[in-house]
Structure 1
Amino acid sequence: MDYMAKELTQDQIVEKRASLIAHAITILDSEGPDALTLRRLAVEAGVSRSTPYLYFKDKAALKDAMQVEGFIMLTSAYKKALEGLTHNRMRMKSLGDTYVAFALAHPELYELIFLTKSRRAPMSDNLAKVVDAYCVLTEEPMQAAWDAGELSMEPERLNKVLWVSLHGLLSLNRAGVIGGQSDFEALRADLGKILCFGFLPDDGRQELKTIYAPDLD
């Protein structure tokens, strides 16, 4: 960094680093994780082979920076999606729609930030900071709905159920076993209805609640 400090201003260093991360995400999403190397990044960004190493000591550091950027991107999309919405459950739905849109637009980045083994390792300070900000934003509408008596399951449990459901749908879609886009959208709509209203008629729901009351209360 001493060399860069002599040649570039701090703003230029930040800009160059952001540009390299953006190019790395492009490689990841278009060519997959196996294509992502610091040497390949240099070619994509049109810089010398040594330049990426001035900003990222190794591939792990680059991936960490990409995870940080991924969470920033998704959090920014969430904030935009929530603009003007006041109804708690509509806000929850908007976040779900945005989550799916992000996963479809950036499938490899989605997997990197949510599913890679590195996400289970201790996080860097920068990554922990953006993950915390992401969690606060995603949990707030659900907590508000719970506090208002609009949900029957506490937010922590419900959040896990929704995440597992959406991730399962996205994973099957990515594996190509669902069908075309229309099939995906139909399944997504059905999944949303079942998660919100169940799959039994009103009398059936009451009977089920009587049998499994400890789990449904």
Structure 2
Amino acid sequence: MIPQDPAKLQAPSASSRRRKRGTGHELRGVVIRVATDLLARSGDVDALTMRDVAAAAGVTPPSIYRHFPDKQALVRAVIGERFRDFTVALNQAAEGHENPLARLEAMSHAYVHAGLRQPGHYRVMFSAVNAGPDGLGLAKGTEHPGAASFRALVDAVTGCLAERGTSTQAMPLATGLWASLHGIVDLRITKPEMGWPNTDLLIDNALAAIRSAAT
């Protein structure tokens, strides 16, 4: 057997590496992760381009279009996946708690901890500009990807109030709790230099109105 000339044993070219990566089943996940990072940095859906996503993913733009027909489809996938993960975290935290207040407390802590653990993901979900129904290209009447996480919070608050027969308070109380939890996460992300009080204490205070209505 004649040995090959080492000079001919060249590393794959950048274009061949791109082609190989672009045909893999894992590309969709890579593109979503990259687009999440880019959107977290810019904070604006309009600033995101398919060309930038392709460059960051190390593939050609046509490779992305095989998985996502346009930018709206990609952004829908990004927002949808981030909210699915977030909702799963809330629901998993509630599991195993029979007491309604204990479930809500666990979900509230999970909300804040998830946001602080992955601030880029949180920013994409709640702070990205032009990520509403129009920006995502949602058909009229289609539920926004974030609706499930808020519904989980409303349902948990409703469960706390069931015995008192005050379920009509659930929506305003849940909205108030959401605003408080969001404020805890968002302010810590955007103002890390502040001397913030203990996170668990802030969450406990955020739950005070619901505890009062439920007992």
Q: Does 1:20 align with 2:35?
A: no
Q: Does 1:156 align with 2:171?
A: yes
Question: C-alpha separation between the residues in 2 aligned to 1:86 and 1:105?
Answer: 27
Q: Does 1:80 align with 2:80?
A: no
24 and 185 in structure 1: CA distance in 2 versus 1, 3 angstrom threshold? farther
1:152 Cα deviation (Å)?
9.3
- Which residue of structure 2 lines up, in the alignment, with residue 192 of structure 1? 203
Mind listing any 5+ residue stretches in structure 2 that lack a counterpart? 1-23
- Residue 138 of structure 1 is aligned with which of 135, 150, 153? 153
- Which residue of structure 2 lines up, in the alignment, with residue 113 of structure 1? 125
After superposing the two structures, state which structure 1 stretch, 15-24 or 129-138, moved more.
129-138
1:47 Cα deviation (Å)?
1.9
Letter in 2 for 1:101: H
TM-score by length of 2: 0.67
Q: Does 1:101 align with 2:113?
A: yes
> Is the CA contact 2:79–2:145 (under 8 Å) kept in the aligned structure 1?
no
1:158 Cα deviation (Å)?
0.7
Question: C-alpha separation between the residues in 1 aligned to 2:202 and 2:43?
Answer: 30
189 and 136 in structure 1: CA distance in 2 versus 1, 3 angstrom threshold? closer
Letter in 1 for 2:80: V
Letter in 2 for 1:141: A
> Is the CA contact 1:33–1:108 (under 8 Å) kept in the aligned structure 2?
no
Alignment partner of 1:65: what SS? helix
Deviations 1:10-38 (A, max 9, x none): xx76x542332123224444x44478432
105 and 69 in structure 1: CA distance in 2 versus 1, 3 angstrom threshold? same
- Which residue of structure 2 lines up, in the alignment, with residue 167 of structure 1? 182
Mind listing any 5+ residue stretches in structure 1 that lack a counterpart? 1-11, 199-204, 206-217
Higher relative contact order (CA 8 A, sep 6+): 2
Alignment partner of 1:184: what SS? coil
